[in-house]
Amino acid sequence: MEITRSDIKLVRELNQKFFGNHLGDQKEHLILNRLKKLYRSQSAFKNLSDMLDAVARGEYVQEFINAFTTNKTSFFRELIHFDDLRSRVFPEHFSQSNEIKIYSSASSTGEEPYSIAMTFLHYQINHPKAINATVYATDIDTDVLETAKAGIYNLIESDSPFPQWIQPHHYFQRRIISEYQHPLIRANETMKKITNFKQHNLLDHESAFGSICFDVIFCRNVLIYFDAPNQDKVLRKLFSTLKIGGTLYTGHSETPITLFPYIEKIGPSIFKKISEIDPRNEPCIAS
Ligand SMILES: C[S@@+](CC[C@H](N)C(=O)[O-])C[C@H]1O[C@@H](n2cnc3c(N)ncnc32)[C@H](O)[C@@H]1O
């Protein structure tokens, strides 16, 4: 299969245009691999240029996006954030309210939002004031969202074990056996009731959940795929939906520099909102 310099250039432009995926010079190998894989999965095209022309015209865009997202995730990834949730955020929050709204903004296959849900359900056992939690979760990739909604995971593929304080059988059923005889786990109804998945492009002007204000936002390991202007754009939009005093978690290699006057760093990639960016804006108030 011939892939020309202009094909690669067009792939870079389309990634940037459709979902802000910034593919620098060092990503050429990734571009070639994913492009070949996408082309082989599509039977409707005579050749690769044909396929790219169709994507550029606005056809097969979702397939294109799904092929170029990077979805690596795991349960309780960066455990310190879940420890912070249960030891600082929940006690502070549930001393004043009995419900909490948490947003997992790039949720991939669901391990992050389900880890948040488990952390809440575990906390709830000994804290009767913690009555309700909703974990809102979005991703742009429709394939990973299907996996997330199904909530079925292969234990062997899960590279991050559950922390000691989590008893997985409280949150997952283990009865399903795959055709390969690997043990699978399926999120139970309580976990599914708490989580709410939706497709959303973080670069969209509108927020994913309208005027809902969040107490906590997870924006982890997604900013690294954007260029600096888009990182700032995404952060500002998310920040406008975080209530003052709310917590923002980012990935360990992601620093929200442009928010620094308005946040206080309180731990590794853990930030507390102290003010709105524009004081004339209505502050976000979580109900
Ligand atoms: C590496 S995963 C991170 C998953 C999880 N937050 C974690 O830290 O484990 C990045 C996710 O961001 C999603 N993503 C990339 N660009 C996006 C965009 N513009 N809008 C929404 N999601 C996006 C990808 O589909 C992918 O599932």
pLDDT, tens digit (0-9, with 9 covering 90-100), for 35-59: 999 999 998 999 999 999 999 999 9
pLDDT of residue 176: 61
Residues 6+ apart with CB under 8 A from 118: 162, 166, 170, 171, 191
Tokens at residue 24, please?
A: 């620098």
Q: Which residues are catalytic?
A: 34, 139
> CA-to-CA distance for 15 and 29, rounded, in angstroms?
15
Residues 244, 229 contacting (CB under 8 angstroms): no
Query: Helix, strand, coil: what percent of the chain each, to 5?
Result: 40, 20, 40
Give the nearest ligand 1 atom to 19 CA: 19
Q: Which atom of ligand 1 is nearest to the CA of 74?
A: 9
Q: Which two tokens stand for residue 50?
A: 């044909």
Q: Which of 54-68, 169-183, 202-216 has the lowest mean pLDDT?
A: 169-183
**Region 151-179 average pLDDT:** 80
Residues with CB under 6 A from ligand 1: 19-20, 69-73, 77, 106, 108, 112, 139-141, 144, 201-203, 220-222, 225, 251
* Averaged pLDDT, 143-159: 86
Q: Alpha helix (H) ranges present in the chain? A: 5-19, 28-41, 48-56, 61-68, 79-84, 90-94, 111-125, 142-150, 189-194, 228-240
pLDDT at 26 over 80: yes
Question: 42, 41, 40, 32: which is closest to 11 by C-alpha?
Answer: 32
- Delineate the domains of the chain, giving CATH numbers in brackets: 5-68 (no CATH), 79-273 (3.40.50.150)
